[in-house]
Amino acid sequence: MRVFRHLLCLAFLSFASLSFAQDSQHFTLFTYTPLNINPAETGAFSGTFRLGGIYRDQWRSFLNNPYETPSVYLDAPVIMGFRKNDWIGAGGMVYNDKAGAGELSSSAFLGSLAYHFGLGRKAKSTFSIGLQAGYGQRRVKTEGLIFEDEIDIQNNTINQNSSLDLGGINADVNYLDIGAGVLLNALLNKKTRMKLGFALTHLTNPEYGLKSSGIKAKLPVLGVLHGEFNVDLNKKWLFAPAFLYQTTSPGQEVNIQAWGGYHFNKAKGVTLRFGTGYRLRDAAKLLLGLDYKDFKVGAAYDINVSQLTGATNSVGAFEVAVSYIAKIFKSPKVDPVIICPEL
């Protein structure tokens, strides 16, 4: 039984290697992590600044070292643009993804700028262009790792005589990462708003392999297409479908979601959100959220439906996310006027 569990762990590690070869982060609550998917989202809101974060926990019920991914971001519309209805946004984000017995981690510290063009006389729609740059890091702990040639299935034992040369593996690798994106945020009518964006990350194809010799592993360009619709069906109910498509050699990921919402008190900004979703050939999703004024809180649970269900018992991942938009406006200073009546 012990050997069987180690073999399953090896299968998970192989799957993890494939995932990292594609990209290190994927969130179910992607609408709560705007700077993670598109730098053109930087400063694309009405307010003084925006602060948010998300945490993903996957396969904790099965693995001793589960997959964990926290991420935080901060952005703000900082200055006016060249035209009356334009503005420039600035921000930054940090994430860290850790997985498996070797605690293979992928981290990034990224800053971003975006220019937002107001469309039309009242600028009810905007077109945005964003750039993102920063440093990424991959790290692994080689102590205590168990490899295939160390497992003796016949005797149900594990030896410490692996033929793998761990001396040829770097403990950590740092690289420069650059991305860019565009975003259209449009008011289609009085009840419907649409957001559609496209982004490319890892434009420099940075070397991120942990092997110090041999073929250098390069991080392939990641393309992201995403969209959201927000439709007020009536004064109480709303419908908000969303999608996310990511592609990088040699894999792709398709996410679709159907959010509903109920306005308990629209004047005070109290809305309960709920829904379901599906990540193609991977997981079904249960979604829940609450808006209260300028606070947004979301939670999600993934039900695994992939070929790994035999090992996971359909237990997938859990996520929680929060965001807050601060609105700090200076009170106008009005000098008193003394009116002297004429005598």
| Residue 204 DSSP class | T
pLDDT of residue 246: 95
Mean pLDDT of the chain: 83
Query: For residue 182, which of 334, 44, 2 has the smallest C-alpha distance?
Result: 44
Lowest mean pLDDT among 148-162, 192-206, 220-234: 148-162
Q: Distance between CA atoms of 16 and 9, rounded to whole angstroms? A: 10
Digit-coded pLDDT (tens) for 289-318: 999 999 999 999 999 887 666 666 666 789
Sequence-distant (6+) residues with CB within 8 A of 71 are 25, 27, 33, 36, 53, 54, 55, 93, 94, 95, 96
Digit-coded pLDDT (tens) for 315-331: 678 999 999 999 987 65
Alpha carbon dihedral 204, 210, 213, 217, in 10-degree steps, equals -40
pLDDT of residue 300: 97
Mean pLDDT (whole number) for 142-153: 64
Phi and psi angles of residue 10, each rounded to the nearest 5 degrees, phi first = -60, -40
Q: Distance between CA atoms of 90 and 78, rounded to whole angstroms? A: 7
Digit-coded pLDDT (tens) for 181-226: 999 999 999 899 999 999 999 999 998 877 766 667 888 999 999 9
Q: Distance between CA atoms of 20 and 342, rounded to whole angstroms? A: 82
pLDDT of residue 88: 97
Domains and CATH numbers, the chain: 2-326 (2.40.160.40)
Comparing 54 with 7, the larger pLDDT belongs to 54
pLDDT of residue 239: 97
Q: Distance between CA atoms of 35 and 112, rounded to whole angstroms? A: 8
Query: What does each C-alpha distance from 270 to 54, 242, 258, 266, 294 come to in angstroms?
Result: 21, 21, 20, 6, 10
C-beta separation of 142 from 132 below 8 A? no
Mean pLDDT (whole number) for 121-146: 86
Q: Which stretches of the chain are assigned E, i.e. beta strand? A: 49-58, 67-80, 87-99, 104-119, 125-139, 151-152, 157-158, 172-189, 192-201, 222-232, 237-248, 251-265, 270-279, 283-292, 295-304, 315-326
Query: What does each C-alpha distance from 188 to 121, 195, 240, 318, 334 come to in angstroms?
Result: 15, 10, 14, 34, 39
pLDDT of residue 15: 38
Lowest mean pLDDT among 11-20, 32-41, 244-253: 11-20
Confidence category of residue 9, pLDDT binned at 50, 70, 90: very low
pLDDT for residue 7 is more than 50? no
Q: Is the dihedral of CA 120, 123, 126, 130 positive or negative?
A: positive
Instruction: Tell me the one-letter amino acid at 122.
Output: K
Mean pLDDT (whole number) for 321-342: 74
pLDDT of residue 326: 96
